[in-house]
Amino acid sequence: MSIQTPPRLLDLAARSLLRIEASAIAALEYLPPELFPPLFMEAFYGNHRETLKAMVQAWPFVRLPLGGLMPKPHVGTLQAVLDGLDILLAQKDCPRRCKLQILDLRNTDQNFWRMWSGARAHVRSSSPLAPVAEDRSRTEQPLAPLELFIELHFTKRTMDEFLTYLIRWVEQRKESIHLCCKKLKIISMSKENIKNILSMVQLDCVQELEVNCTWQLSTLALHAPHLSKMRNVQRIFLSHVHVSPFEEQEQEQQHVAQFTSQFLRLHHLQDLRMESPSFLEGHLNQMLRCLKTPLQSLSITHCLLTEEDVMHLSQCPNIGQLHGLDLSGVMLTEFNLEPLRVLLEKVAATLQTLDLNLCGIRDSQLEAILPALSCCSELRSFSLCGNLLSMVVIERLLHHTDGLPVLDLELYPAPRESYSPHRVLHPERLAQLQAEVLKILRDLGRPRTIWLSSSPCPHCGNDTW
């Protein structure tokens, strides 16, 4: 026999009030602020659209976190709320009770609703009571422009019904609505739609930008001016930008300049990640010169760079405080790694993660950077997967990294001796070498997590100690 928790008197009162929707709407003028959230939830889940529309016009808090009530976008609810905003925006003077300034459509901050629903067990130590109290203490302020927060993730070439309706509504009210988006993610979308969306978003609100499309360099240059308006962006991820084989060198140079010059206006950028940026070869210094603040994380992967590019990287003044560096897939086989050694020495006091997977690094190159590597006292994760190194050098590597106090994850390739001259892996020989590595670790006497395998990806193997 199960015992169900009886409904609270507050919930019963809200349901009773909503049985006659006109009465509920009339009562809003006299309703204490504490009763608005539970009544709003009852109206939301009961699909009382007229009540929702009226409650928006009398909302007694600065912020309405609507997205916390609907993990999946719901057009009908959105229409009711936006209809209420339309009535509110049409009024010359802000109603006495209404303090609404922010409509938040992000699927975050469910704690606001949990608190008012009585589920206090879910409220974190940083209770939402504080922001609610702040809302109540605010004096009446002009409503317009109202801020509408949303996370924009474009994963299809066409927008769904919810986003289409919202964007059209905002477009018709540009003077009264600021569309704010802290996380902007573009996976697939037509150039025209991207242009239209970005023209409506308050770009200085964007803090994280991800563009994971297959673009030509000319397309990147076309949208580059929008980047300079994202003055508060902290993280940029850019993937698969290719140079057309038909593009002339002068035009390519112009397009690269159009993109890299935008970084001059980004004074809060901390994390820059670029995957397969084929246009960077020979142009890395052009971008590095435009960085205005020290980066915390830099990832340039799966592309070609020149030896001069790596040298410019080591000399860049805004790279000296890196916490993370990822050059996976950048072929370094023919390079003098002296610049990389200089870079590691420069970031030795801050570097926490270092990824040099699939870089074609040879024994002599790794030995050249080992002294600098052993100085990286904050290093927590180091990966060399996919490089062909001898057992002798791997043993030296283990001794150099043994003195790093916080290093807790090391990902290394199967030694070169595990392969035949034709690069065929011998599992028995690999097992013998793994046993040797295990003995070395026991002799060193410190517990360590090391992954050693022929797979270039640590998620494809399980050889760890």
The whole-model pTM stands at 0.84
Sheet holding 63-64, edge to edge: 63-64, 102-104, 146-149, 177-180
Angle made by CA atoms 308, 309, 315, in degrees to the nearest 5? 90
Which domains, and CATH codes, for the chain? 9-137 (no CATH), 320-465 (3.80.10.10)
Rounded distance between C-alpha atoms, residue 439 and residue 433, angstroms? 10
According to the model, what pLDDT value does residue 243 have?
87
pLDDT 10s digits, 117-143 = 544 433 333 333 233 333 333 334 444
Distance CA 161, CA 130 (A): 36
The amino acid that residue 229 corresponds to is: K
Q: What is the pLDDT of residue 394?
A: 95
Structural contact between residues 328 and 356, judged by C-beta atoms closer than 8 angstroms: yes
Helix, strand, or coil (residue 48): coil
Single-letter residue type at 385: C
Residue 367 backbone dihedrals phi, psi, to 5 degrees? -60, -35
* Alpha carbons 385 and 357: distance in angstroms, whole number: 5
Q: Catalogue the E-assigned strands of 130-249.
A: 146-149, 152-154, 177-180, 183-186, 208-216, 235-242
Residues 6+ apart with CB under 8 A from 74: 162
What is the residue type of 388? L
Q: What is the pLDDT along the chain (465 residues), one digit of tens a residue?
A: 455 565 665 555 556 566 666 777 888 888 888 888 888 988 888 888 999 999 999 999 999 999 988 877 788 889 999 999 999 888 877 677 788 999 999 987 667 887 755 444 333 333 332 333 333 333 344 445 899 999 988 877 667 888 889 989 999 998 899 999 999 998 877 777 788 888 889 999 999 999 988 889 998 998 899 999 999 999 999 998 988 888 888 999 999 999 999 999 999 999 999 999 999 999 999 999 999 999 999 999 999 999 999 999 999 999 999 999 999 999 999 999 999 999 999 999 999 999 999 999 999 999 999 999 999 999 999 999 999 999 999 999 999 999 999 999 999 999 999 998 888 889 999 999 999 998 998 898 877 888 887 766 555 444 444
* Bridge partners of residue 273, in order along the sequence: 237, 299
* pLDDT computed for residue 117 by the predictor: 53
Nearest to 29 by CA among 52, 8, 5, 57: 57
